[in-house]
Structure 1
């Protein structure tokens, strides 16, 4: 199979050139449902670098967070870098957590990203500005002592949850900030208690893991959701004491109900596992959750696992759903209105 390349590969090249050197053992993970031009382009770049690169190509996993085949899991532990290019998210799979715990970093560009998505949109934003915005969203939108959030939206969201003691503040990027360096999250982003060791591309979200079992109300997903893609009929989640008790709507709600029944577990209905804010100024609506959740001023809410973002819940899956124009109140004060920040997020 030959690759057809058009446009520039400079954005795809940047994190690889920064972290990988000649002779590095690199495992590239992809599946048969993913755009093959991406792994082919990556292999071309790795050949230019002089890395010892291998592609592991396998059938698409049934859900995000599922491991690749066992032989690939074993190979992940014998590489210097694992590059994740699958159509499902593997960054927080058990196999990748084991690799990160062993200090084998991942470069994550999975979740259905096509080659065109590495040439425009979210990947083109200034990574230092994203780091700056994350710092000021933590400081000015939430604040270290934030207690309760309320989110509303034009589609009927009215949802509350506690963030008590869950707001971490990434440091301000200094003059020596390295936009494409592998991130040790405990050290580099003040998120202790995990083994997160990766570079995520594209990026652009400020993560919060709300207090488990604290959420109540109606959460309406209106833009994009894991597995479903672009949401054309809003999905209404009714949440009581941090658990989804009903999923209402039309075709997309039916898809989500069926998906959770087939691939979820009891903890897959925990909500919100994550409640995060998009801070990427170049991200655009793609119908692909990997980009859409980074759009400036959006919020996305997760179901299932949240140990990776500072919580305590483990599940077979994690699914993010994006609200395009949320309004966010923090302890009664409006901080985001219809997707527009009401406080500065690039300065004090």
Structure 2
């Protein structure tokens, strides 16, 4: 399928189309959520594809939310509970906002490409990787990088990271995909990935991360975010977080550090300073630096560390927000053994 939406771009939308045609049937009620700061060509293309499917599609367009994990307007939250499928393509992350979690718990799935993806970025990069092989890599990262019995992690980086945290009993190894595995079908995470993280029921793209929720309160040291962070985008200078007993006590650096301090003070809450809410590994071989979380945190060999909410990845923290910060070339030790060095895996992740 090719398109020239608003006469601005010509190219294939096959990667955008696949999850929609695999999961949405003729006549189903589909709610498309977007905001006024998102690339409008994306929701226009989605609505065109839904018209091809003959779905009963409705577009909800609203002002940009102040932060990731903030709900859409109340009327949209209500409409999400009356839909058969919700398609999220907002400039802020909405997959794990309260309204989305409620709808998934009610058995209404989400198809998610939120976070500010431009239409060009849905034709190249992370979205073009082999989705079945991503599932293979996630299995082997769980098995070979961590292992079910993993207890402690230490992360270092050339920018000064030296950070430790416990993952004891927190490593969940997703199964290898079977011959009948459909990489574009909506996932029931408790059933399909062995992840004890609530009733998550969605398809996320682009994707490519192995999620870990460290034990709250165990992290210590310096965590230096050097690539990208939610809300801030591509960083102009590293942000140094000082963490004591799993909580940020100091934020140092240049302009980006100041922006983060002000953002947390304005839009966060007490739990927004919990860190790391998430400490995950990128496994997408086609992901490239875009300056947005939806792509950058999936880059092969990166690690991203979350602040705030982590109930969606197996933790227990609830916050107004969740913010991921990416380290481009981390070194990871698991129980004292080096498993990733400067962003390169030292153990097999493509197969046995």
TM-score, normalising length from structure 1?
A: 0.99
Residues of 2 paired with 1:257 and 1:46: CA distance? 41
Query: In structure 1, which of residues 26, 50, 54 is the aligned counterpart of residue 30 of structure 2?
Result: 26
Of 44-53 and 188-197, more deviation after overlay is shown by 188-197
What's the TM-score once normalised by structure 2's chain length?
0.98
The answer as to whether partners of 2:149 and 2:169 remain within 8 angstroms in 1 is: yes
Supply the distance in 2 between the matched residues of 1:271 and 1:65 (Cα, whole angstroms).
17
1:56 matched to which residue of 2? 60
Cα pair 1:65 1:88 within 8 Å, conserved: yes
Q: How does 1:181-220 map to 2 (within 5 A)?
A: 181-220=185-224
Equivalent-residue separation in structure 2 for 1:218 and 1:142 (angstroms): 22
What is the alpha-carbon distance in structure 2 between the residues aligned to residue 28 and residue 337 of structure 1? 41
- Structure 2 residue 294 is matched with structure 1 residue 322: no
Q: Following TM superposition, by how much is the alpha carbon of 1:6 offset from its aligned partner in structure 2, in angstroms?
A: 1.5
Alignment of 1:289-304 (within 5 A): 289-304=293-308
| Cα distance per residue 1:56-94 (max 9 Å; x no partner) | 000000000000000000000000000000000000000
**Structure 1 residues 195-238: Cα deviation after superposition (integer angstroms, max 9, x where no partner):** 10000001000000000000000000000000000011000000
**1:284 partnered with 2:284:** no
Residue 226 to residue 3, structure 1, CA distance change in 2 (3 Å): farther
Is the aligned partner of 1:252 residue 2:267?
no
Structure 2 CA distance for aligned equivalents of residues 214 and 346 of structure 1: 31
Q: 1:148 aligns with which of 152, 161, 164?
A: 152
Could you tell me how far 1:3 is from its partner in structure 2?
Answer: 6.0
Distance, in Å, in 2 between the alignment partners of 1:328 and 1:80 is 42
Corresponding residue pairs, total: 348
RMSD: 0.8
The Cα shift of 1:263 comes to: 0.1
Q: Which runs of 4+ in 1 moved over 2 A?
A: 1-5
Q: Which runs of 5+ in 1 are unaligned?
A: none
- The one-character-per-residue Cα deviations of 1:126-154 (angstroms, maximum 9, x if unpaired) are 00000000000000000000000000000
Aligned partner of 2:12 in structure 1 is: 8
Match of 2:94 in 1: 90
